[in-house]
Structure 1
Amino acid sequence: MIELKNVSKSFGDKQVLNGIDATFEKGKTNLIIGASGSGKSVLLKNIVGLFKPDEGEILYDNRNLVTADRDLKTDIRREIGMLFQGGALFDSMNVEQNVKFPLDVLTKMPEDEKLDRVNEVLARVKLENTNTKMPSEISGGMQKRVGIARAIVNNSKYLFCDEPNSGLDPRTSIKIDQLLAEITEEYQITTVIVTHDMNSVMEIGEYIIFICNTRKLWEGNNEGIAHSGIEELDDFVFANKMMRKFRGMV
């Protein structure tokens, strides 16, 4: 579980986050949504320790990342897996090497055990027998699945995804959403996803926070989001024709 308590962040005289509270539970898909420039990516960077909040606490199972010493921060970061927006695979490494990279950097695991673990997670994301392929030889959806495998290869307790469906077609996006939801429940990971994809919100949003004008304006799940009664959230949710059509059905 990850808890945010009164998290605030400014850059100069521009406040980006103001008193954000949230509880992201393990085994659930937790989503951060908001319009471009709303501060959701800044919030993610605070949660993973790339930025330090001006105020507030960020608790990883009651361990405060904000006030942690170097050793504790290292321990927490070893428990984190990241799926970046563009996949962020190393072009010069094949699939196996990309997935094995966290094990090489963060563990002293024997090489044969590393390879067993790599093959295990590749099988879990349905990419068996792709070990020697280069990123340029596989599709965008497959690259995202390699990214997921790399993010969980070190038995991560916390998984962060930044716009995981960016650049993918709708069908592939659905498959990535389903895979993330399955892995989250199966491994009981605390998964936090930053997204603006309303299909993802409606499909896998078990806990959602909506960031607007520096604040958390709403929290809930995918069943309640269409009935929030909050104008700013309605404008975000029903911004396109398909969602307006859906709105008429609920």
Structure 2
Amino acid sequence: MIKIKDISKSFDDKVVLESISGEFQKGKCNLIIGSSGTGKSVLLKCIVGLIAVDGGKVFYDMRNFSDADHDMKAEIRREIGMLFQGGALFDSKTVEKNVMFPLDILTKMKPDEKIDRVNFCLKRVGLENVGKKMPSEISGGMKKRVGIARAIVNNPAYLFCDEPNSGLDPQTSILIDELIQDITYELNTTTIVVTHDMNSVMGMGDNIMYLYKGHKLWEGSKDDVTHSGVRELDDFVFANKVMSALRDKL
């Protein structure tokens, strides 16, 4: 479980997050949703520690990450897997070397152990035959799956996914969502997904936090999101349904 308390962040004079609190549950897909520019990715980066918060605390299973010393933060980071928006693969490394990267920097595994783990993770995401290829030789959807393999290669307790479906067609998006959901349940991870895709929300939203202009306006499950009673969230859901209908007609 990850718990955040009163997280605030500003850039210059612009308030991006204001006193955000909540819990992200273990073994479930926890979604942070909202329109573009509402602070979703900034909140994710604050939780991971990529951005320093102005105020508030982040707890990883009761461990105070915000106030932890260097060694404790390093220990927690070794338990984190991250799927970046766009995949963020190294263009100069093979798929195999991309997936192996966290093992190289975070573990003391022997070379043959690393290869076995990389092959296992690539097989888990359905890419057992592409290890020797370069990122430029595979599709966008395959790059996202490589990114997932890299994110889970160190068997993380916490999995973070920033807009995993960005730039993907609807069918591939569903496959990525199902893969993230399956891995979450399989590994019993605390998974946090940032998205504005209502198909993702309705498909895997075990626990959902809705942000609007840097404020948390609602929290609940996919079963309740369509009748939240929050006007801004109702507008967000309706707009996404309209866009989805238009995409289906194209």
User: C-alpha separation between the residues in 2 aligned to 1:128 and 1:89?
Assistant: 17
CA distance in 2, matches of 1:129, 1:174: 22
CA distance in 2 between partners of 1:139 and 1:243 (Å): 24
* 1:224-249 residue CA offsets vs partner (Å, 9 max, x unmatched): 0000111100111110454798xxxx
Q: Aligned partners of 2:19 and 2:32: how far apart in 1?
A: 15
Aligned equivalents of 2:194, 2:239: Cα separation in 1: 18
Q: Counterpart in 2 of 1:15? A: 15
- Consecutive unaligned residues in structure 1, runs of 5 or more: 246-250
Per the alignment, residue 86 of structure 1 pairs with 86
In structure 2, do the counterparts of structure 1 residues 113 and 178 end up closer, same or farther at CA, with 3 Å as the change threshold?
Answer: same
Task: Report if the CA contact (8 A) 2:31-2:192 is conserved.
Answer: yes
- State the 1:214 CA deviation: 1.9
Indicate if the aligned counterparts of 2:198 and 2:241 stay in contact, CA closer than 8 A.
Answer: no
Partner Cα separation in structure 2 for residue 213 and residue 136 of structure 1:
37
Q: Which residue type is aligned with residue 94 of structure 2?
A: N
The aligned counterpart of 1:43 is 43
Aligned partner letter, 1:23: E
Contact 1:238 1:244 in 2 (8 A): no
The separation in 2 between residues aligned to 1:6 and 1:241, in whole angstroms, is 32
In the alignment, structure 1 residue 57 sits paired with structure 2 residue 80: no
Equivalent-residue separation in structure 1 for 2:241 and 2:154 (angstroms): 41
Query: Partner letter of residue 194 of structure 1?
Result: V
Query: For 1:79-115, what per-residue CA distance to the aligned partner results, in whole angstroms no more than 9, with x for missing partners?
Result: 1111011101111111111101111111110000000
Secondary structure of 1:239's aligned partner: helix
1:191 maps to which residue?
191
Deviations 1:3-60 (A, max 9, x none): 0111111223322111111110111000001111111111111100012222211000
Q: CA RMSD, aligned part only? A: 1.3
User: Normalised by the size of structure 2, how large is the TM-score?
Assistant: 0.95
TM-score normalized by structure 1?
0.95
Paired residue for 2:66? 66
Residue of structure 1 equivalent to 2:248: none
3-state DSSP class of the match of 2:191? strand
Alpha-carbon distance in structure 2 between the residues aligned to 1:44 and 1:32: 8
